[in-house]
Amino acid sequence: MRLTVDRFLDNLAREDGYAQNTISAYRNDLTQLVDYLTKRPEPVESWAAVSSELLGEFVTHLREQTIMRRDGEAKPVAASTIARKIAALKSFFGHLAKAGTISIDPAAALEAPRVAKRTPRTMSDEDVVRLLAAPGPGHSPKVLRDHALLELLYATGMRVSELVSLQVDDVNLAERTVRVRSIEAERERLIPCSPQSVEAVQLYLERGRPSLLKSSALPQSALFLNQRGQQLTRQGMWLIIKEYAAKAGLTYEVTPHVLRHSFAAHMLKTNKASLSDVQRFLGHANISTTQIYVQPAEPPAAPAAEMDTPQPVE
């Protein structure tokens, strides 16, 4: 049963272009289902034996679970989490039915709880300026690297996984563009960069990265390196942003995705690009995902050929 799950997730990554975070979440959700089915008093050992009633019992089981908070108190599983798990079930069993593995889709009648759509958290122009300035004016390899990655992350709206996967030859300083490869979807997109981010990356490549590279025993083509000369990890990126958000005096949580949200919202708010342009830059498969960033009474956007990446106003 687990092998079938693995094949389904591989298909989502290759054919449908799902983000790695979504794949990981679906893997956890479906592994939880497999455990529930196989550890019952009467174990279920094939997907064809899963009925709609059994899936209903599983969803009830999920709703009855609690999560321990940091303060030691238990809280119920969020409706958004239940909705995502049901989405995973529907996608998985729909795939099995389409492939002919099962004759009837037992998840077809499942209904997810209603989840209120939340407006993505974005940073003000002033807070972006403070964050981008937080590395300071120094010229150490770490400062040059951190300044470059913060500028590039905000100027392009990339996912953190995409940023740490960048190779040196993905950045075209002359054309002011960066090529972002989507490993999951096996496709790529080209995003324009701001002059500030290009300058920061150029300084890093000339003065910062060579020093970091000396710490590596092996050749490295990754753009952003850690102190050991190895490719920077997603966790390392999160810690860097957390460090500079604190240094900038920001009292709320700043994550790579908050910068991604800010890029999209500022791009549309300042009329730098159309909705379809922002969709393309963010790598959204569906434009409805991008529409959450649209502000009321948005004026017409400039043509894509004339636009530039958004920059905070100092």
Q: Say if CB 119 and CB 189 are below 8 A apart.
A: no
Domain boundary among 55, 83, 99: 99
Give residues with Cβ within 8 angstroms of 38, minimum separation 6: 1, 44, 45
Residue 182 pLDDT class (50, 70, 90 cuts):
low
Q: What is the CATH number of the domain that holds 28?
A: 1.10.150.130
Q: Domain for residue 281, yes or no?
A: yes
241-282 residue pLDDT tens:
999 999 999 998 898 889 988 988 888 887 777 888 888 788
* pTM, 2 dp: 0.60
Checking if the pLDDT of 297 tops 60, the result is: no
Same-domain pairing of 40 and 186: no
Q: Which amino acid is at 130?
A: R
- 176 and 268 in a single domain? The answer is yes
Q: What confidence category does residue 43 fall into, taking pLDDT thresholds of 50, 70 and 90? A: confident
What is the pLDDT confidence band of residue 117, given thresholds at 50, 70 and 90?
A: low
Q: Is residue 120 part of a domain?
A: no
> Is 311 contained in some domain?
no
Residue 288 has pLDDT above 90, yes or no: no
∠ CA 234-14-149 to the nearest 5 degrees? 25
Cα 18–Cα 273–Cα 190 angle in degrees, nearest 5: 50
- Domain assignment present for residue 60? The answer is yes
Residues 211 and 62 in one domain: no
User: 204: domain CATH number?
Assistant: 1.10.443.10
Question: Which is nearest to 106 in space by CA: 40, 61, 55?
Answer: 55
Rounded distance between C-alpha atoms, residue 261 and residue 275, angstroms = 14
What pLDDT score was predicted for residue 126? 93
- Cα-Cα-Cα-Cα dihedral sign, residues 266, 187, 254, 129: negative
A 10 A CB-CB count for 75 gives 10
The answer to whether residues 157 and 286 belong to one domain is: yes
223: its two tokens: 């753009």
Residue 67 pLDDT greater than 60, yes or no: yes
**Identity of the amino acid at 95:** H
Give yes or no: residues 234 and 295 share one domain.
Answer: yes
| pLDDT attached to residue 304 | 45
The answer to whether residues 148 and 278 belong to one domain is yes
The pLDDT value recorded for residue 299 is 36
pLDDT at 17: 61
Residue whose C-alpha is closest to residue 19's, from 193, 154, 187: 187
Q: Which residue has the higher pLDDT, 296 or 124?
A: 124
Both 133 and 262 in a single domain?
A: yes
Residues 163 and 15 in one domain: no
133 and 60 within one domain: no
DSSP 100-156: TS-SS-TTTT--PPP-PPPPPP---HHHHHHHHHTT-S--SHHHHHHHHHHHHHHHH
Report the pLDDT value the prediction gives residue 289, as an integer from 0 to 100: 74
Of the three residues 36, 64, 99, the one that is the final residue of a domain is: 99
Q: Is residue 312 part of a domain?
A: no
pLDDT tier at 296, thresholds 50, 70, 90: very low
Report in angstroms the alpha-carbon separations of 289 from 77, 85, 209, 221, 307.
24, 19, 36, 33, 22
Within a domain: residue 153? yes
Coil, strand or helix at 187: strand
Q: How confident is the model at residue 301 (pLDDT cuts 50, 70, 90)?
A: very low
Residue pLDDT, tens place only, 302-312: 444 434 444 55
Contact 16, 92 (CB under 8 A): no
Number of domains in the chain: 2
Residue holding tokens 């997730």?
9
Residues 185 and 255 in one domain: yes
Q: Is 48 a domain residue?
A: yes
Quick: pLDDT tens for 233-246: 988 999 999 999 99
Does residue 29 lie within any of the structural domains? yes
Q: Are residues 205 and 90 in the same domain?
A: no
Q: State whether 88 and 222 are in the same domain.
A: no
What's residue 273's pLDDT? 75
**More confident of the two residues 292 and 222:** 222
Sorted by sequence, the CB contacts under 8 Å of residue 304 that are 6+ apart come out as 273, 274, 277
How far from 211 is each of 44, 144, 214, 228, CA to CA, in Å?
A: 57, 11, 5, 10
Cβ atoms 232, 260 nearer than 8 A: no
What is the residue range of 41's domain? Answer: 2-99
